[in-house]
Structure 1
């Protein structure tokens, strides 16, 4: 029967609990940071587009300027749709990356626990 020294117990505790928890915490923080940045970028872009369109309406003075603003609205709607589609793809990609990395961390944790148990 082998006796576990306090140093060995500390190392086992570190490798089985502390290190995996730290890795998951870092992964969650990284994902949150990227997600918030993507959301702020989307909000900034879409609000800029919306404000530009609102300013366009202030320039309506006659039928020609009204026609121009309406055409601009249609183009802005298309641009916003494309932007939203791109942002949704970016967020889905972040989610997939997060899922893959968290699965890898879980697998690594299970392997490490198996090695430590031997």
Structure 2
């Protein structure tokens, strides 16, 4: 007695599995890793700038020795706040650009995968049609 669910290696098309499922999955994984790397690097760069700025401000505050020094320090805080605000705006724009790039690349990848799947389905249909046309005369005998 044969098992109807037994694996038949002759019917298993590894090239089709590769082109329809595995290659697109690897491409999307690579795209995701690249996006994550860029995003993490942007965050690390921003964090370093913010930490360096904060440390510099703490050093400046620690050097205040009199009322004039405190006044100078406080006046400088406005400029630091302005610079940090501009930096945050630039960092946010950078993250948005990265996300847009990821979305566009994901869409291209999806369109390519769908097109490839359609082509594979068409080839499979053609192959099946040919097999049926060839088998029909033999079955009629």
Question: 1-side partners of 2:109 and 2:10: how far apart?
Answer: 27
Moved over 6 A (4+): none
Return 5+ residue gaps in structure 1 as ranges.
Answer: none
Name the structure 2 match of 1:101: 105
- Tell me the equivalent position of 1:80: 84
Please give the TM-score of this superposition, normalised by the length of structure 2: 0.77
Answer with 93-102 or 72-81: which moved more: 72-81
Q: Which has more radius of gyration? A: 2
Question: Pick from 11, 16, 19: which aligns with 1:12?
Answer: 16
1:51 matched residue in structure 2: 55
Aligned equivalents of 1:21, 1:39: Cα separation in 2: 27
Structure 1 residue 54 displacement after superposition: 0.9
For residue 13 of structure 2, give the secondary structure of its aligned residue in structure 1: helix
Structure 2: gaps of 5 or more residues: 1-8, 123-141
Residue 39, structure 1, aligned to residue 43, structure 2: yes
* Pairwise CA distance, 1:10: 1.2
Query: CA 1:6/1:101 → structure 2, altered by over 3 Å: closer, same or farther?
Result: farther
Of 24, 28, 31, which aligns to 1:27? 31
CA displacement 1:46-88 (0-9 Å, x = unmatched): 1110111111111111121111111211111111001000000
2:60 counterpart SS class: helix
Deviation at 1:8, TM superposition (A): 8.0
- Alpha carbons of 1:7 and 1:82: their partners in 2 closer, same or farther (altered >3 Å)? farther
CA RMSD of aligned residues (A): 1.5
Q: Matched residue of 1:74: which SS?
A: helix
